[in-house]
């Protein structure tokens, strides 16, 4: 993550340990590109995300009607100026630039997912316009949400492809905005890993819905298509098998655990937020596949209601989040329901206890 402040972070899809591995193990050109990306990310950490210090405010000239998408795509033309030059607005025909079209479509698919599935009116549930900038920087190996808009690098072409290529990445980053609006989970240690996990979950669900895939047919990958040819890996993360997404001489080995017995204790990456997210990710995968059907209908609904639950605190860890998912499963489907039992067992199978099924929690 590129972190600006506790309350106004900038969320990057690519964790710093991957970039540092490239900077240490890549060829001279790859090392330079990774080092440059790390330098940009370090600058991002030094500033708060606001209209004055980082990005322009969203382009709003009137309140949108409920259910009305408003997308604007800009290009930075390989500079670091945001938002850049406007190249496509809502309803405009496709551009000749594939990155522009992928960003436009990805914003739309994510908007459609939250509106059609949960009745959520954009990221803030109040019709927020969705803005994105493509072609940010020179060979910039990342994509991020800065509390104002999406920003995509083109990748270096050797290790990473353009960052607009993965719909789940776009869904992941925009979901950070949903979490900011609803739960404000602190981006540190277990709350931060939950923050990352929620984004992975709904990023995957956006892709699954777009492909009309049932849980059993989904790949459960985050960053599909992002790794360039020749890189030994299939994605950035796997929810189905955390720790299996890549094993490459340059990138290193995917460090994600799938169970609490392998929880990684570290101060790196804000306390391992991109690493330990594998544990709640796997819990969701287990719940969704055991419930079968479309994952967004039952498991996704339970997790979404938990994200919106007033009892979810900024500093909540895995156990409290698990308990709340069980409580919401019971509220939605009944205490004796299959859904409730499946959610409890999914968390138990990754080593996160849900004492008594779903114990009462004080507000």
* Cα-based angle 204, 205, 210 (whole degrees, multiple of 5): 100
Where do runs of H (alpha helix) occur along the chain?
A: 16-25, 28-45, 98-118, 167-182, 189-210, 269-272, 278-291, 299-307, 318-333, 338-349
226 cis-preceded (ω within 30 degrees of 0): no
Is 274 assigned a catalytic role? yes
Is 173 assigned a catalytic role? yes
Angstrom distance (rounded) from CA 85 to CA 52: 18
Beta strands in 49-181 (DSSP E): 71-75, 85-89, 130-134, 143-145, 150-152
Question: Nearest Cα to 127, choosing from 224, 217, 60?
Answer: 60
Q: Which of 3, 176, 274, 340 is catalytic?
A: 274
Question: Nearest Cα to 31, choosing from 41, 23, 19, 39?
Answer: 23
Q: Which of 102, 173, 182, 224 is catalytic?
A: 173
Angstrom distance (rounded) from CA 144 to CA 164: 11
Q: What are phi and psi of 222, to 5 degrees?
A: -115, 120
Angstrom distance (rounded) from CA 141 to CA 148: 20
User: Which secondary-structure segment (H or E) carries 17?
Assistant: helix 16-25
User: Which secondary-structure segment (H or E) carries 281?
Assistant: helix 278-291
Question: Nearest Cα to 283, choosing from 198, 179, 358?
Answer: 198
Q: What is the DSSP letter of 145?
A: E
Question: Nearest Cα to 2, choosing from 208, 216, 173, 160?
Answer: 173
* Positions marked active-site: 173, 274
């Amino acid at each position: 993550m590129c972190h600006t402040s506790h309350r106004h972070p900038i969320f990057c899809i690519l964790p710093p340990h991957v970039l540092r591995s490239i900077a240490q193990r890549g060829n001279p050109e790859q090392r330079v590109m990774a080092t440059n990306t790390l330098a940009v990310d370090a600058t991002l950490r030094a500033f708060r995300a606001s209209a004055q210090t980082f990005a322009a405010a969203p382009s709003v000239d009137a309140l949108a009607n409920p259910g009305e998408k408003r997308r604007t795509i800009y290009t930075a033309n390989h500079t670091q100026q945001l938002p850049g030059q406007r190249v496509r607005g809502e309803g405009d025909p496709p551009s000749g630039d594939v990155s522009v079209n992928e960003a436009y479509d990805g914003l739309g698919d994510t908007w459609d997912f939250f509106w059609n599935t949960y009745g959520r009116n954009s990221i803030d549930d109040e019709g927020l316009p969705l803005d994105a900038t493509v072609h940010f920087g020179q060979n910039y190996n990342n994509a991020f949400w800065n509390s104002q808009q999406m920003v995509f690098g083109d990748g270096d072409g050797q290790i990473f492809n353009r960052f607009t290529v993965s719909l789940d990445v776009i869904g992941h980053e925009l979901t950070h905005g949903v979490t900011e609006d609803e739960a404000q989970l602190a981006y540190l240690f277990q709350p931060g890993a939950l923050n990352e996990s929620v984004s992975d979950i709904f990023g995957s669900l956006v892709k699954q819905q777009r492909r009309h895939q049932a849980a059993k047919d989904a790949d459960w990958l985050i960053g599909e298509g992002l790794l360039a040819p020749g890189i030994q890996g299939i994605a950035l993360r796997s929810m189905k098998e955390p720790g299996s997404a890549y094993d490459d001489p340059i990138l290193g080995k995917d460090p994600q655990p799938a169970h609490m017995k392998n929880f990684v204790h570290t101060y790196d990456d804000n306390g391992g937020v991109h690493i330990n997210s594998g544990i709640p990710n796997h819990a969701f995968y287990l719940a969704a596949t055991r419930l079968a059907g479309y994952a967004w209908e039952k498991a996704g609904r339970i997790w979404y209601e938990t994200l919106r639950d007033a009892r979810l605190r900024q500093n909540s860890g895995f156990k409290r989040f698990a308990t709340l998912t069980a409580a919401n499963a019971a509220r939605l489907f009944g205490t004796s329901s299959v859904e409730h039992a499946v959610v409890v067992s999914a968390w138990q199978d990754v080593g996160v206890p849900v004492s008594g099924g779903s114990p009462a929690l004080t507000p």
